[in-house]
Structure 1
């Protein structure tokens, strides 16, 4: 990347601003993810979602900004905080919610739940429950892209809690060695389960973690969808040009606990309120749209549309039948 590109990414907001139409689309996608996650939290509280459930509320600008620079064929893989990535990839709210509730109409026919659903059609290769394991799988997807001679990229999401796992550094080495088209997106939401990143990582600049292998890294404001998109644009261009992997440390914040079972007593309520009041990614876009001339009625229309979609997904998930017991024997063996 050129010095100008480095400056653009590191500085967050820059001259390559999004149009009003692009911001409206970003607003729609971000509101959809938030309202979907809020409803998932409600269903979990009602006992309709079992197992684990890690919500993406607060982090919407990251996945929306990244996906605005992707195209058909690009691969996505992530950790257990995955519902936002699914929706951004174009997976249907009905199918995702039905999987969360363990129903036949879900993407994994009710067998995967929150952390283990996939869509080959949308090139979404799963949320993964083992911390950091998806990073190694992500470079495998990038290797497949390069082996087939395409210019498609692999986007591999992981959190700051996984950033010091050994397989992450092994993946850096292989990705750099073979110049694999992989974008490592480190979603730094400050807390891994119940421990702050300051107490868990000796590195204070996680975007530099790929430097020993020559992987360019950049620090991005993850509460600003425009800053994320600009960083993604540079990273995608770098990978498509055959220059190898890129690491983006995207500073973001989750408003809820690590999972639905986490009361999040390890942080002050005032900290969460400060982020909601002054750094919310959706409010930021809303204010920009109003300044551009978008009316309150137009924004309300988007909110109403999203509410209807989420209500429909919730109703579908609760009325879809449970999987037939015969599903226990499917998807466990591939004969070649």
Structure 2
């Protein structure tokens, strides 16, 4: 099959990538779905726009996804829950209740949700520091995530990780050093291959990390050993306050692997993300080695909450991107398809808002960690294996466990 990257192209090879914002196409032009079953659990297929993918030495994923009405509703709920949680985090930060860094993913929800719905709980995910949505999708709760931001004892990392470091089963962070998670994720994939687990690692990093040497070293090792890893560049158009055009001589990140096949995906379309991830998992587990994905998305907020995000981009640019919002466009599509009604969508929105409000209140009630040395050194060792004594600043200073 001839890949799309080899077919004749018009002026804009990827319609939503544009030097001028108004040329972007969105998912609103997808044809209607007919014969949707009345049952919530009965499978059927929904289409994906043909401009959702751009390939590099790779056939494209399917342009449809098998799903159910129940899953389509859950996708909307998951994206909306992340959005509402991030807004709550933003409010807590501005009330000076969250200290340190706080990186929000408003606008990028379709990536985290689509990845999770394209894999299983046994598969592995690792990402950089914009990790709240991934943590929620990997099994964290709104309460535990907000509690972590507040530095509370019952936060998902006991109040020690904050916004940048969050973990759960088969989710390896939340990593603060730019690009540092990429070799870690490559090592996780090596372990999967070594143990023959039949699982895949989705190794997510940002466009700001794409020029790091350790990222390209990881590509080399992954391809050399044909590891089951999907390198996923979450391209939100800016590394801190620097646009991709000013930071990278080549902004086609999905081609950066050279000897690794690549795929660029409309990361504002949750269904396109699901199709790509399912396809990638099947590809890598068939022994074909790694893939390099680029999810084109956009963050509405600044790099962190302390960054207003207005000095390096225009208000018109942000407004144009908001017109392609992954939640509102998807919501309109589900109403058009008859998956739910406008009133049902509003009821779901209200329920999500109430849930996040309750979780926020409970997070604020969480106690702070005790200020003692046992808590300070906690989790340095696997729980239950801690030594009874620890050396202090000098050879004759010793601390004993309480």
TM category, shorter: over 0.9
Judge which range, 33-42 or 144-153, deviates more: 144-153
Paired residue secondary structure (1:297): helix
Q: Deviations over 1:209-260 (max 9, x none)?
A: 011xx21100110111111111111111112212211111010000000001
User: Distance in 2 between the 1:150 and 1:272 partners?
Assistant: 43
Shift of 1:72: 2.1
User: Distance in 1 between the 2:65 and 2:3 partners?
Assistant: 12
- Residue matched to 1:172: 219
User: Distance in 1 between the 2:76 and 2:121 partners?
Assistant: 21
| 2:371 maps to 1:325 | yes
Shift of 1:34: 0.2
Greater fraction helix: 1
| 2:168 maps to 1:85 | no
- Residue matched to 1:253: 298
Higher relative contact order (CA 8 A, sep 6+): 1
| 2:343 maps to 1:297 | yes
Q: Contact 1:98–1:313 at 8 Å: present in 2 too? A: no
Equivalent residue for 2:255, pick from 208, 215, 222: 208
- Residue matched to 1:128: 175
Aligned-pair RMSD on alpha carbons? Answer: 1.9
User: Distance in 1 between the 2:149 and 2:89 partners?
Assistant: 8
- Residue matched to 2:193: 146
Q: Deviations over 1:91-124 (max 9, x none)?
A: 11111111110001111111111111211xx311
User: Distance in 1 between the 2:2 and 2:137 partners?
Assistant: 31
Shift of 1:4: 6.9
Q: TM-score, normalised by structure 2?
A: 0.79
Q: Contact 1:217–1:248 at 8 Å: present in 2 too? A: yes
Aligned runs of 1:1-336 on 2, under 5 Å? 3=2, 9-10=53-54, 14-16=63-65, 18-119=67-168, 122-211=169-258, 214-264=259-309, 265-276=311-322, 278-293=323-338, 294-326=340-372, 327-333=375-381
Q: Contact 2:53–2:266 at 8 Å: present in 1 too? A: no
Q: TM-score, normalised by structure 1?
A: 0.94
User: Distance in 1 between the 2:145 and 2:251 partners?
Assistant: 36
- Residue matched to 2:19: none
Paired residue secondary structure (2:153): coil
Q: Contact 1:89–1:124 at 8 Å: present in 2 too? A: yes
Q: Which has the larger radius of gyration?
A: 2
User: Distance in 2 between the 1:24 and 1:97 partners?
Assistant: 24
- CA distance 1:17–1:150, shift in 2 (3 Å): closer
Q: Deviations over 1:131-183 (max 9, x none)?
A: 00000100111111111111111111101010000000010011111111111
User: Distance in 2 between the 1:173 and 1:97 partners?
Assistant: 38
User: Distance in 2 between the 1:332 and 1:135 partners?
Assistant: 23
Judge which range, 176-185 or 18-27, deviates more: 18-27
User: Distance in 1 between the 2:364 and 2:81 partners?
Assistant: 19
Q: Give 5+ residue unaligned stretches, structure 1.
A: none
Paired residue secondary structure (1:325): coil
Shift of 1:191: 0.3
Q: Give 5+ residue unaligned stretches, structure 2.
A: 6-49, 55-59, 387-402
Q: Contact 2:61–2:279 at 8 Å: present in 1 too? A: no
User: Distance in 2 between the 1:317 and 1:78 partners?
Assistant: 24
Q: Deviations over 1:40-91 (max 9, x none)?
A: 0000001111100000000011111111111121111111100010111121
User: Distance in 2 between the 1:152 and 1:24 partners?
Assistant: 27
Shift of 1:3: 4.9
Shift of 1:205: 1.1
Q: Deviations over 1:285-328 (max 9, x none)?
A: 11111111111121122212211221122111110000112311
User: Distance in 2 between the 1:308 and 1:240 partners?
Assistant: 41
